[in-house]
Amino acid sequence: MAKLVSGPKTIPAAGNMPKLIKEFFGAVNTGSTQASIARMNSPKGWREPGQTPEFDEYTVVEKGELKVETRDHTYFVRAGQAFLAQRGEWVRYSTPVAETAYLSVCIPAFSPETVHRDAE
């Protein structure tokens, strides 16, 4: 059935400083567990704990630069580029260089129970 989403809901973010997450589809805004779609805005210097999620995360950077660390490599994903972190793979996101805006799609949907963040 078709569904209009009148706007996103802001949800809390993990990390060392405030980050804005606006969820359009997902557990918080639409009750969906199949996928989540959210727009993120993180300030320069933001970083979150590492995680080993039970979902694939597709990220498209709109503005700035997202640093993505895996066990084997560090990637710098710039505006106009995209990154896929596959479920079961350890990953850590940060924005050390500049304020960054990006879209995130998680399949199945993001949840605090399935993200498996590292203890800090």
Residue 99 phi/psi, 5° resolution?
-55, 140
Pick the CATH number of 15-114 from 2.60.120.10, 3.40.50.300, 1.20.910.10, 1.10.10.10: 2.60.120.10
Residue pLDDT, tens place only, 18-51: 999 999 999 999 999 999 999 999 999 999 999 9
Could you tell me the pLDDT band of residue 66, with boundaries at 50, 70 and 90? very high
**Strand order from edge to edge, sheet including 74-78:** 46-47, 91-95, 65-70, 74-78
What does the pLDDT read at residue 1? Answer: 84
What does the pLDDT read at residue 94? Answer: 98
* Residue tagged 């399935």 (tokens): 114
Could you tell me the pLDDT band of residue 118, with boundaries at 50, 70 and 90? very high
Specify the DSSP class assigned to residue 88: T
CA–CA separation, 36 and 104 (whole Å): 8
Residue pLDDT, tens place only, 97-112: 999 999 999 999 999 8
